[in-house]
Amino acid sequence: ETGVTQSPTHLIKTRGQQVTLRCSSQSGHNTVSWYQQALGQGPQFIFQYYREEENGRGNFPPRFSGLQFPNYSSELNVNALELDDSALYLCASSQGQGLTYFGPGTRLTVT
């Protein structure tokens, strides 16, 4: 098991609501990335944070936003939830551009 933890494990929300997912990076890692994995697909890069600044973004709308805190933990916020946002959200941490380690994910269901 990696040292990356995520909470909650599962979450059910209604369309239009907002959600916050949390991630604690592995000790010593200063870079956190978030990925969305829809059912039956490979993970897709949402964005990356390095030392509290967004450092790269994938093809996701602005209603997907994030934060990284001084202890390198991170949050993913999604506003105005849509049914297609239902997915497994994976947090990953690394030391700069070193090896990437993934957390177990948060399963989000939007109804």
Partner 1 sequence: AQSVTQLDSHVSVSEGTPVLLRCNYSSSYSPSLFWYVQHPNKGLQLLLKYTSAATLVKGINGFEAEFKKSETSFHLTKPSAHMSDAAEYFCVVSLSGGYNKLIFGAGTRLAVHP
Contact residues for partner 1 (CB under 8 A)?
A: 2, 4, 31, 33, 35, 40-45, 48, 50, 55-56, 58, 90, 92, 94, 96-105
- Closer to partner 1 at the Cβ: 13 or 102? 102
CB of 47 to partner 1, least distance (A): 9
- Closer to partner 1 at the Cβ: 13 or 104? 104
- Closer to partner 1 at the Cβ: 66 or 103? 103
CA dihedral sign of residues 27, 33, 69, 82:
negative
CB of 71 to partner 1, least distance (A): 20
CA dihedral sign of residues 55, 76, 106, 86:
negative
CB of 31 to partner 1, least distance (A): 6
CA–CA distance, 29 with 101 (Å, rounded to integer): 10
Cis peptide before 8 (omega within 30 of 0): yes
* C-alpha separations of 29 from 72, 88, 91 in Å: 7, 22, 12
CB of 69 to partner 1, least distance (A): 19
